[in-house]
Amino acid sequence: MIDLAALDPTALLPFILIGFAAQLVDGALGMAFGVICNTLLVAVMGVPPAAASARIHVVEVFTTGVSGISHLLHRNIEWGLFLKLLIPGLIGGVSGAYLLSSLHSDLVKPFVLAYLVAVGVWLLVRGLLYPPKIRKPKVIAPLGLIGGFLDAAGGGGWGPVVTSNLLVQGAEPRKVVGTVNSVEFFLTLAVSATFIWHLGLADIAGATLGLLIGGVLAAPLGAVMAKRFSPKLMLVLVGAVLTATSAFGLYKVLV
């Protein structure tokens, strides 16, 4: 059991702030919770990478659930797109989880990050120079499959891969963010179920509890922001976040 009385609120505060900031960005732009949390936990807080990854996956089950409900209430979900992403995403996620032990994901990670940097730059250019034209995306199921697989096998990738590519195809930004966030709950639940079972509830303490509190508090605000941002601003913000996080990840991999 978790001894809540023994937890130091001041020790939790930095993790609450990290969870809040990361989920605010993720809820509004459809990506980056895992990347931001992992970077801050490992590089700033000194948390071991394996422990950081475990805590983030546990927290995402709860934050994506609250975020999905918030997007539902604000009508940010396109149900046709939701259904087309859900099944391929789950298949990709479960496949990635099964292959994680034998797949050396580090070999493909630099190529994926380089691709995401290019997509981020393109979204920035498009948002700044070209008025967004809303169109129905045509390539959906393969994105769900690849995004789910990379998320499970590589420790992240659902939001950056799926959100960015749907925006490149011209889908409505707030609908993309709301739908991708909502599907992510089911993906995270499927991928993390065995992991959480082995961890036990006692692991939801310390840094994990702080991330959970901050993330859950920020989730409703992210849905409101996604609804209020203009399509042009959304493209610019997503492009900036995707470029910065992917470029940093690529730098860490290559150096």
Cα 241 from chain centroid (whole Å): 12
Sign for the CA dihedral angle at 86, 222, 37, 232 comes to positive
The alpha carbons of the chain give a radius of gyration, in whole angstroms, of 17
pLDDT by residue for the chain (255 residues), tens only, comes to 444 444 566 778 888 888 898 888 888 887 778 777 877 776 667 766 656 666 777 788 888 888 889 889 888 899 999 999 999 999 988 887 666 545 555 666 677 678 778 878 887 887 788 766 778 888 899 989 988 887 776 556 788 788 888 988 888 888 988 899 899 889 888 776 755 565 555 555 566 788 888 988 988 888 888 878 787 887 788 888 888 888 887 887 787
- CA nearest 216: which of 6, 33, 41? 33
Residue labelled with tokens 């630099």 = 110
- Burial class, 95, CB count within 10 angstroms (exposed 0-12 / middle 13-18 / buried 19+): middle
Tell me if 129 sits within 8 A of 185, measured CB to CB. Answer: no
